[in-house]
Structure 1
Amino acid sequence: MSNLDEAAFEQFICDWLVGSGGYDAVKIGNPKDPQPDFDTIRALDTAELFRFIGATQSAEWDKLVTLYGGDITKAQKGFADRLAKAMDARGTVDVLRHGVVDLGQTIRLAFFRPASGLSPELIERYGKNRLTVTRQLPYDPISTKTLDLCLFVNGVPVATAELKNGLTGQTVAQAIEQYRTDRDPKNTLLKRAVVHFAVDTEQAAMTTRLAGKSTRFLPFNRGHELGAGNPANPNGHRTAYLWERVWQRDAWLDLLNRFVHTEPAPKGSKQAPTTIFPRFHQWDAVLAMTAAARENGAGDDYLVQHSAGSGKSNTIAWLAHRLSSLHNEADKKVFDKVVVITDRRVLDQQLQDTIYQFEHVHGVVQRIDEDSTQLAEALTGQQARIIITTLQKFPYVTDKIDSLPDRTYAVIVDEAHSSQTGESATKLKEVLGSSDGAAAPDEPPNPAEDALAAAAAARGSQPNLSFFA
């Protein structure tokens, strides 16, 4: 494939998605003969939308048609209008997670994999999601411009991609420039898509918001030899991880459901909320740790090395949420509680806001900053699954866990307020089984972290406790 051109690159990716990635169909757009499946006004693949609804919610749909006077065409148009308005008001991901109410009838737009396999009906519905990819999609009602790739979930556009072939002189830089200068940020589909990827055979980048020439793309690479870029791939393109791992059906649905969220604009600001999409290293680290914990259970410890600006707060939020609902192959919960040790108030609120978007349930996250009685109740109670407390209370946490050998706990230690190379951090790495990292001579002492590390070291490994730091 040394002479791979852009069209062949598109075809190669699409063939993999349908042949090995679990996608249901590849569609090919034609600006001279637009397909009726895609509604450019509402930015929906209505054929896939109603195919999904009919396969998963036929009774609910029949009720809605009745409310529209028994006119199926009128019902389809009315619901498509209602869905489009909901996506503009609430965002695409929120609509996928929580559905739409039309004339009092709730219609779901996706079914995500449940945390356990104890609900066969939900598992069956999850299997009926329709993931499709369209090549050269004419996306604008007043233009013949096309998108190289557009990924859909049940007819809802969730991602776009512009592809370039580095082997013929076109690179990710040209794809980024195309988004910045040749893609109207006000276009309905481009506004609603969760993420936009610029991709060549060597590197990838992504953004969640198009803003013309001000559009900011972030690298979406694996990293190579402690640096940027991607390692060589003996089986294909360096960027194959994007379609083989990230866009793969189960991984993609999981990412949309349990990673993507929005951060509100600062109070008093006129800025729009920011959609947060994980960087590759964040997504990869969280999945690796939860997979290991699922297989090994409680008792093992894990260390993730973060550099400044790598998004540790979001990584902690994603990890805490996943660990709090993690089940093993026997459908038994791996951890009864997740405890986050931090002194950062901003992380407290961020955890609560982020996890509420995933679950719409209050009380999942509880902050403990009063007395030990409150902490004891949280550690043993039924409501809170994620407990946030301070470094000073860490010894009490481990004492309490010692007294509850039949319960399992995950403890996530937030070190973002201090250097990864300080004396206390080095002690903690020793506790977690890492031998590298000498203390920096100019690192100021942190008594709270020193106490945390000393307390952990004194207790050694506990079979009902896993550290994540």
Structure 2
Amino acid sequence: MAVKPTRSMGERTFQNHVIDGFEQQGYTYVPQSQMDQNFNRETAIDEPTLLEFLADTQPKEVDKVERQYGGRWGEQVIKRIEQVIADKGLLWALRNQIEMAPGAKFKLLYFKPKNDLNQTAVEHYHANRFQVTEEFHYGTMKDDLNNRIDVVLLVNGFPLVTIELKNHQTGQTFCNAIKQYMTDRNPKEQIFQPDLRSLVHFAVDADDVFMTTWLNGKETKFVPSNRGNGKAGGGNPPAEPGKFGTSYLWEEVLTPDSLLDIVERFVQITYHEKDKNGKKITRKVRSAMKAMIFPRYHQLRAVRRLIKATQEQGPGHNYLIQHSAGSGKSYSIGWLAYHLASLTQSDGSSFFNSVIVLVDRVVLDEQLQGTIMNMPHPRGMVAIAKDSAGLRDAVNAGSRIIISTIQKFPYIYNQTDTSGRTFAVIIDEAHSSQSGEAHRKTKQALGDHT
């Protein structure tokens, strides 16, 4: 039953409204009593839901392990999944396949296909289990056994998102939720260890949303994920009738489609280049993690609005993104580049032959270059044009993503063959580079289809 929101409602009523909101978006509500039975605190997985998902979507793979292990097949699958995640991380496991003897390969979830041409892929996507539960028990350590998280979102048995709620009626705000995460949530518990079971943790009240991906006691860093107040300031605009200022979190950001899109194409992990002894790290594993990046609201909105506009209007239009300092511009550019490079028409053909990222510096912006290169991509998808010849060759070869400086185009504008091809051009610091000879030569080099 829907709950009518008011600013005077208590925290429990606010929580009921949030739960109801997630249900309306397609999550299945699981009562605390049932989740207590299903959720194995030692593995930090809702094992019955995960095994049911695997059996329904990948029966041939289940048959392989069942012939090998008999009635213990589920136990062995869970054990193997734990091993892989402990080594390579949850994000890797969700995006790839879990391999185990005797030659079985399991997918832990199915992302939304780019189109409806493959009916099996569509059916698999709809087979994902999206659950929302409340007053979630997770603790394995003595002091945590009775601790509860207000709201948790699970996908195929994995508690990917945790949410602590506060409401003004009780004299508390998101600041109290942040303090709760810092002081009353043990970062050693599996559900709070980065890239082990959960991907993000939200501190939410009726007006504001803050989040973190890495709990570290009092050193935990939370960042805002608000919409902006519409007056060049932080926070959120006044709530619409019948809603809270933070309703967009469950109505937009964390809907099933949106959450899996974020998992597939937004969440990023950075790694240390050297270990404590100064030795170069060659494997990207959990033990070498430096940070986990989950998109903030303004980044999601910018990328998705541009993709939608491109789908509706096609190539040949100009758009402007305004970013304040420290708001993650490099990641927004990187995410946009990969989204544009993978954007397809209804028949499966690409919107653009190449996506070109240009910076207005003689020397390539190392931060932007590193951000784009560190995002998962097939070998050869990204070309870094360090000189004019490299830019010319990358354009003529049709590299999917090309990174360069705008100053190189005057040297190659008459050496490119772009007939019948379309380009998406993302320009950093556009205010200082959209005039003069470099801009004119860029247009000449790429033709009219940009």
Do the structures match in fold with TM over 0.5? yes
For the 8 Å contact 2:210–2:224, the answer to whether it is kept is: yes
- The Cα shift of 1:283 comes to 1.1
- The Cα shift of 1:268 comes to 4.2
SS in 1 for 2:76: helix
State the partner residue of 1:247: 254
Counterparts of 1:15-414 in structure 2, within 5 Å, are 15-19=20-24, 21-23=25-27, 25-30=28-33, 35-68=36-69, 70-71=70-71, 74-103=72-101, 104-142=103-141, 143-191=145-193, 192=196, 193-224=198-229, 225-235=231-241, 236-268=243-275, 272-342=289-359, 343-356=364-377, 361-372=378-389, 374-381=390-397, 384-395=399-410, 403-414=417-428
> CA deviation digits over 1:384-413, x for unaligned, max 9?
311112222234566566x52411101111
| AA matched with 2:381 | V
Counterpart-to-counterpart distance in 1, 2:153 and 2:412 = 45
Counterpart-to-counterpart distance in 1, 2:336 and 2:249 = 21
TM-score, normalising length: structure 2: 0.88
State the partner residue of 2:280: none
| AA matched with 1:28 | P
| AA matched with 2:53 | F
- The Cα shift of 1:368 comes to 1.8
- The Cα shift of 1:4 comes to 2.1
Counterpart-to-counterpart distance in 2, 1:245 and 1:39 = 30
- The Cα shift of 1:89 comes to 1.7
> Runs (4+) of structure 1 moved beyond 4 Å?
268-271, 396-401, 458-463
Correspondence 1:11 to 2:16: yes
> CA deviation digits over 1:235-292, x for unaligned, max 9?
3100011010001111111011100010112534587421011111111101111111
> CA deviation digits over 1:288-334, x for unaligned, max 9?
11111111111011111111111111111101100001023454321
| AA matched with 1:411 | V
Counterparts of 1:448-463 in structure 2, within 5 Å, are 450-455=436-441, 463=448
User: How many equivalent residue pairs?
Assistant: 422
For the 8 Å contact 1:341–1:394, the answer to whether it is kept is: no
Counterpart-to-counterpart distance in 2, 1:325 and 1:279 = 21
Counterpart-to-counterpart distance in 2, 1:462 and 1:231 = 42
After superposition, the Cα gap between the structure-2 partners of 1:34 and 1:128, relative to the gap in structure 1 and judged at 3 Å, is closer
- The Cα shift of 1:34 comes to 6.7
| AA matched with 1:320 | A
- The Cα shift of 1:121 comes to 1.8
Aligned CA RMSD, in angstroms, stands at: 2.3
- The Cα shift of 1:119 comes to 2.3
For the 8 Å contact 2:354–2:400, the answer to whether it is kept is: yes
Counterpart-to-counterpart distance in 2, 1:397 and 1:277 = 38
State the partner residue of 2:285: none
Counterpart-to-counterpart distance in 2, 1:258 and 1:252 = 10
| AA matched with 2:382 | V
TM-score, normalising length: structure 1: 0.84
| AA matched with 2:357 | V
- The Cα shift of 1:364 comes to 0.9
SS in 1 for 2:108: coil
- The Cα shift of 1:152 comes to 0.9
After superposition, the Cα gap between the structure-2 partners of 1:244 and 1:399, relative to the gap in structure 1 and judged at 3 Å, is farther
5+ long unaligned stretches in structure 1: 432-449
Counterpart-to-counterpart distance in 1, 2:408 and 2:126 = 44
| AA matched with 1:326 | L
SS in 2 for 1:341: strand
State the partner residue of 1:441: none
SS in 2 for 1:287: helix
Counterpart-to-counterpart distance in 2, 1:461 and 1:312 = 25
- The Cα shift of 1:15 comes to 1.6
